[in-house]
């Protein structure tokens, strides 16, 4: 058995699981959504670290040999703490793979959108500058995008207004790539691409992290005979099960766990 662990603060990051299943349908994984303490986006570094360590313990205890931190907030605030706490387990966050992809496709400037916590941490700026110090990084926090997605207002007049309001400064500055630095945002990708125009390449961090994980640990993605794919929530509900099943294209029943 070769088990991939994933955790995140809620359900938005199921977009990472969706990518995983789409590309490697037989891979074993254990996924935890910390829905009881969702969202992490506006919480302090100390609190996000504490939650991330508890989340990681759960998937490691279930046999995970690699942990994908499928949450931009935890990826930007808690990676050092996770690696220090569990030195024997490799961790992969969603920030670096997306940043690396953006760098290969940009000559002068990269745009980044995310939650207030992710943008405030400056992590994308830091990682991109490490890879190419000449690139300008223009960031914009879009705190209403998550609630709009969760309300299903994917193609709504109000959402269009907020896309325009948040992204206008990035469009005016002619960014060449735009990183969707929050895994809820791929649901708004069509609206965002329409607003930004064809010359801007939009980068989905969920897709980037799955590609990177496969590149680094291909052995973990092989199909097993008795494929084991489990989803757990700290606050389980039938609403979450139907959301997960709909998004992932196959039936899942989430297990309720206490951390």
* Contact residues for a second copy, defined by CB under 8 A: 35-37, 43-44, 47, 143-144, 147-148, 150-151, 157-158, 161-162, 165, 234-237
Q: Which two tokens stand for residue 64?
A: 């995970």
Cβ atoms of 55 and 32 within 8 Å: the answer is yes
* Closer residue to a second copy in complex, CB, 213/236: 236
CB nearer a second copy, residue 37 or residue 212: 37
CB hemisphere CA count around 194 (13 angstroms): 10
142 among known catalytic residues: no
Cβ 147 to a second copy shortest distance, Å: 4
Least gap, CB of 61 to a second copy (angstroms) = 21
Q: How far is the CB of 108 from a second copy (least distance, A)?
A: 31
Residue holding tokens 């907020």? 162
Q: Given 27, 70, 71, 82, which residue is catalytic?
A: 71
In whole angstroms, the minimum distance from the beta carbon of 51 to a second copy comes to 8
Provide the token pair at 189: 């990708």
Q: How far is CA 112 from CA 30, 63, 176, 179, 193, in A?
A: 29, 34, 11, 5, 14
**182, 200, 202, 209: which one is catalytic?**
182
Instruction: Please say which residue, 150 or 193, places its beta carbon nearer to a second copy.
Output: 150
Kindly tell me which of 3 and 236 has the beta carbon lying closer to a second copy. Answer: 236
- Contact yes or no for 12/246 (Cβ under 8 A): no
Residue among 149 and 220 whose Cβ is closer to a second copy: 149
Cβ at position 187, least distance to a second copy in Å: 16
How far apart are CB 146 and a second copy at their closest, in Å?
8
Cβ density class 175-213: b for 16+ within 10 Å, e for less: bbbbbbbbbbbbbbeebbeebbeeebbbbbbbbbbbebb
Closest CA to 9 of 62, 53, 55, 58: 55
Please indicate whether residue 182 is annotated as part of the active site.
yes
Give the bridge partners for 92, in sequence order.
68
238 CB-contact burial (10 Å; exposed 0-12 / middle 13-18 / buried 19+): exposed
Tell me how far apart the alpha carbons of residues 240 and 224 are, in angstroms, rounded to a whole number: 27
Nearer to a second copy, 53 or 103 (CB): 53
Active site residues: 71, 182
């Amino acid at each position: 058995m070769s088990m991939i662990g994933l955790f995140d603060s809620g359900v938005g990051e199921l977009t990472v699981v969706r990518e995983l299943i789409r590309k490697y349908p037989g891979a074993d994984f254990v996924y935890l959504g910390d829905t009881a303490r969702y969202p992490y986006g506006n919480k302090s570094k100390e609190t996000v670290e504490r939650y991330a360590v508890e989340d990681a313990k759960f998937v490691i205890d279930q046999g995970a040999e690699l942990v994908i931190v499928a949450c931009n907030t935890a990826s930007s605030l808690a990676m050092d703490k996770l690696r220090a706490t569990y030195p024997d387990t490799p961790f992969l966050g969603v920030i670096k793979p997306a940043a690396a992809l953006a760098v290969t496709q940009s000559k002068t400037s990269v745009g980044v959108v995310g939650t207030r916590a992710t943008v405030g941490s400056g992590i994308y700026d830091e990682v991109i500058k490490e890879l190419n110090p000449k690139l300008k990084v223009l960031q914009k926090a879009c705190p209403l995008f998550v609630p709009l997605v969760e309300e299903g207002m994917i193609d709504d007049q109000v959402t269009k207004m907020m896309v325009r309001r948040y992204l206008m400064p990035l469009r005016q500055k002619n960014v060449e790539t735009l990183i969707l630095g929050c895994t809820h945002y791929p649901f708004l990708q069509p609206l965002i691409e329409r607003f930004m125009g064809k010359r801007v390449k939009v980068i989905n961090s969920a897709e980037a992290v799955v590609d990177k994980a496969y590149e680094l640990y291909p052995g973990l993605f092989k199909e097993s005979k008795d494929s084991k794919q489990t989803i757990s929530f700290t606050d389980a509900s039938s609403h979450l099960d139907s959301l997960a099943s709909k998004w992932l294209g196959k039936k899942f029943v989430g297990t309720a766990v206490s951390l």
